[in-house]
Amino acid sequence: MTLQLGEIAPDFTVESTEGTVSFHEWLGDSWAVLFSHPADYTPVCTTELGAFAKRKDEFDKRGAKLIGVSVDPLASHAGWAKDIETTQGASLNYPLLADENRLVAELYGMIHPKADPKLTVRTVFIIDPDKKIRLTLTYPPSTGRNVDEILRVIDSLQLTGKHKVATPVDWQNGEDVIIVPSVSDEEAKERFPEGWDEQTPYLRVVRQPK
């Protein structure tokens, strides 16, 4: 199953390290970052879970909830959480789903048989308050994710959802943005009265809206 941007994220009810999670109800009116792990007690995953835990407050500031998923059982998660705290200096502070029956893995297409028929790949889904999928990222099991990039994308999605702008390559929060082509110059004058740098008729650079 391949989920596409703009689709409603599939709902599910699964046990987690923080109790039963009914996903849509748990999500509420928040953003969510749903990310999968190949298995418990694996080295790269251990570093990732610790990194997300250390930076959870940054996601909280953006109204984004973290939720991990592994196909191992709750008892395994409990033991692994101790290792994460010991080695990474941060305790697990968001739910980690125990997807033993691979319900979530199948719903979200996290099993790639040609890579490994048993393990979930490192998939990230960013989901908005309307329950729509706004971003997907898929990494092989050997490559850890970049937390800064996930935060950067959330900043971009939240900004561009409120203003008719797009964010250029390597953009960071606070930097200049681009007026989208669908906005005429007349409308742009109303939206951006301070003006913009017209590098071409379709590339109009403007200060980031507050």
The mean pLDDT value for 46-74 works out to 95
SS (H, E, C) 123-150: EEEEECCCCEEEEEEEECCCCCCCHHHH
pLDDT for residue 117 is more than 80: no
Domain count, the chain: 2
Closest CA to 41 of 93, 91, 78, 92: 78
Query: Is residue 154 included in any domain, yes or no?
Result: no
Return the pLDDT at 119: 56
pLDDT for res 114: 59
CB 145 within 8 A of CB 122: yes
Q: What is the mean pLDDT of the chain?
A: 92
Same domain, 40 and 125: yes
Query: What pLDDT, on the 0 to 100 scale, is given for residue 63?
Result: 97
Supply the CATH number for residue 59's domain. 3.40.30.10
- Predicted confidence (pLDDT) per residue in 66-89, tens digit: 999 998 899 999 999 999 999 999
Domain interval for residue 65: 13-145
Q: Does residue 156 fall inside a structural domain?
A: no
Looking at the structure, do residues 133 and 40 belong to the same domain, yes or no?
yes
Query: What is the layout of strands, in order, in the sheet containing 96-98?
Result: 19-22, 13-16, 96-98, 64-70, 31-36, 122-127, 133-139
Whether 106 and 51 share a structural domain: yes
Let me know whether 114 and 182 are in one domain: no
- Do residues 83 and 21 both lie within one domain? yes
Task: Check 45, 96, 119, 188 and give the catalytic one.
Answer: 45
180 pLDDT exceeds 70? yes
pTM over 0.85: yes
141-144 long-range contacts, Cβ below 8 Å, gap at least 24? 141/38, 141/42, 141/44, 141/115, 141/116, 142/44, 143/44, 144/44, 144/47, 144/48
Q: Is residue 205 flagged as an active site residue?
A: no
Q: Which pairing describes strands 96-98 and 64-70: parallel, antiparallel, or unpaired? A: parallel
- For the segment 80-101, the average pLDDT, to the nearest whole number, is 94
Give the position of tokens 């048993």: 118
pLDDT at 116: 57
pLDDT at 210 over 60: yes
